[in-house]
Structure 1
Amino acid sequence: MGEWIDISQPLTDKIAHWPGDKPFSYSLTASKQETKSVNIGQITTSLHTGTHIDAPFHFDSNGKTIEQLDINLYIGKSVVIDVSQANTITAEVLSQYHWPSEINRVLLRTSLPNNPERFPDVLPNLDPNIAPYLQRLGVFLLGVDMPSVDAPDSKDLVTHHALQDHGIHILENIMLDQIKPGEYELIALPLHIHGADGSPVRAALCPINKEDAQHDK
């Protein structure tokens, strides 16, 4: 395998956040000059800023919270698929792609440019009919290079619920602009935040095949 590639959005004070949500901020609460030994920092943020996973509790008050999820969901073989030619991503669009049956994590590279400092007004549409299709293929994790699997102004979150109903977990805001389609090992571990509806992750890919070892230029 090749080297690990970071596909996380960098958490800086410039990172975009959901309108009305808590923006990310890092600051020192104490300096080494003050403590005579160490610098001590703190962060404030929404759990859905930057690259993150959604726990079912995020959109279902009876759903599992972060610490109740199996971390093995977020470690293992994955496939990156380029669906950037489609404004609406349906089961029919996904049926054009094929990957080994043992790969259960699908990451979608959409037409949305990866710009961590801008919150997009419009997202490519993920049709909820992808959920039963992916379930039939044994997929249990869907990653997207967008802040949500539903439209930013959605209140019913149809695709979130469809994915949950079909046993598929959600990884959002990954950075795939420079990643070639292909097979990869994925690590996107959430923090162990008890009772949380989501968690930031440090997501990374490692190419399984030599031909996928280089980034797109």
Structure 2
Amino acid sequence: MPRLWDISPPVREGAPVFPGDTPYGQRWAASIAPGCPVNVSTLTLSPHVGAHADAPLHYDPDGQPVGTLDLDPYLGPCRVVHAIARGPLVTWEHIAHAVHALPPRVLVRTYQRAPVDRWDPQLAAFAPETIERLADAGVRLVGIDTASIDPADSKTLDSHQVIRRRGLRVLENLVLDEVPEGDYELIALPLKLVTADASPVRAVLRELT
């Protein structure tokens, strides 16, 4: 069987979120007991908890919600590129070694070890020019192993605005610690949340055969 890499961080109480965003919470609405045959939980969370797909509605007041998006960008050939500890912005020079004949999906690893249990205010992000050049190369989806493709303190969201203008899709909060550079099949389908600005995904990479 082809090998699978689970590139989703754990989602649980204490999972990091942007300051001010809704953290993950869970309570039991029903518990197995005499007269009750099941456990049923109630969840509260931001759709940006864990690995997630941003929808255009997240960064464009007239953008599509996540549940109406075409699923094709989230499934198919993908390249993982390492740009580990290269500074606050991933520039074209940081990924130029791996951009020959790019598939339509590119995921960039910036952490040596992703901080799955803490918020990182110094997270690495994409330089907007990098997104432009990836779009020029035919890339339809970009992903990163940090909480945002823009710096945590950005108020202009320049890379998100390039994504909006060029019609790309984005995955954030991936965990690429164990994934070698190379080509894979990406499977990271968002939920059909028809009015939401994002959706959690269970993101996996499958070995190509």
Do these two structures clear the TM 0.5 threshold for a shared fold by scoring above it?
yes
Please give the per-residue CA displacement for 1:139-189, whole angstroms capped at 9, x wherever unaligned: 010010000011111111111101221222110000001111111111101
- Structure 1: runs of 5 or more not aligned: 210-217
Structure 1 distance, partners of 2:35, 2:61, is 43
The 8 Å contact of residues 28 and 40 in structure 2, kept in 1 or not, is answered as yes
Letter of the 2:94 counterpart: V
CA contact (8 A) 1:112 1:124 kept: no
Tell me how far apart the structure 2 counterparts of residues 85 and 24 of structure 1 sit (CA, whole Å): 28
Aligned-residue Cα RMSD (Å) equals: 1.6
Rounded Cα–Cα distance in structure 2 between residues aligned with 1:137 and 1:129: 12
1:172 aligns with 2:172: yes
- Whichever residue aligns with residue 99 of structure 2, its letter is H
Matches within 5 A, 1:1-217: 2-33=2-33, 35-87=35-87, 88-101=89-102, 103-111=103-111, 113-208=113-208
1:39 positional shift? 1.0
Q: Sequence identity of aligned pairs in percent?
A: 36
Q: Go from structure 1 to structure 2 and tell me whether the alpha carbon gap of 1:147 and 1:123 turns closer, same or farther (over 3 Å shift).
A: same
Task: Provide Cα deviations, 1:87-109, integer angstroms capped at 9, x if missing partner.
Answer: 131123333323434x1000001
* Segment drifting more, 92-101 vs 122-131: 92-101
**Which digits, 9 at most, give the CA deviation of each residue in 1:117-151, with x for residues without a partner?**
10101022421001221112110100100000111
Consecutive unaligned residues in structure 2, runs of 5 or more: none
Superposition TM-score, scaled by structure 1 size: 0.90
Q: CA 1:23/1:94 → structure 2, altered by over 3 Å: closer, same or farther? A: same
How far did residue 60 of structure 1 move?
A: 0.6
Deviations 1:57-84 (A, max 9, x none): 0011011111221011101110000011
Aligned length: 208
| 1:65 partner amino acid | P
Question: Displacement of 1:34 after TM fit?
Answer: 5.8
d(CA) in 1 for partners of 2:20, 2:132: 33
The 4+ residue runs of structure 1 with deviation greater than 6 A are none
Query: Partner letter of residue 123 of structure 1?
Result: L
1:85 deviates by 4.7
Secondary structure, aligned partner of 1:28: strand
Question: Judging changes above 3 Å, is the alpha-carbon distance between structure 1 residues 27 and 2 closer, same or farther for their aligned structure 2 residues?
Answer: same
Question: Contact conserved, 1:112 with 1:145, CA < 8 A, in 2?
Answer: no
Q: Aligned partner of 2:106: which letter?
A: V
C-alpha distance in 2 between matches for 1:129 and 1:100: 19
| Cα distance change, pair 9–63 in 1 and its aligned pair in 2 (3 A) | same
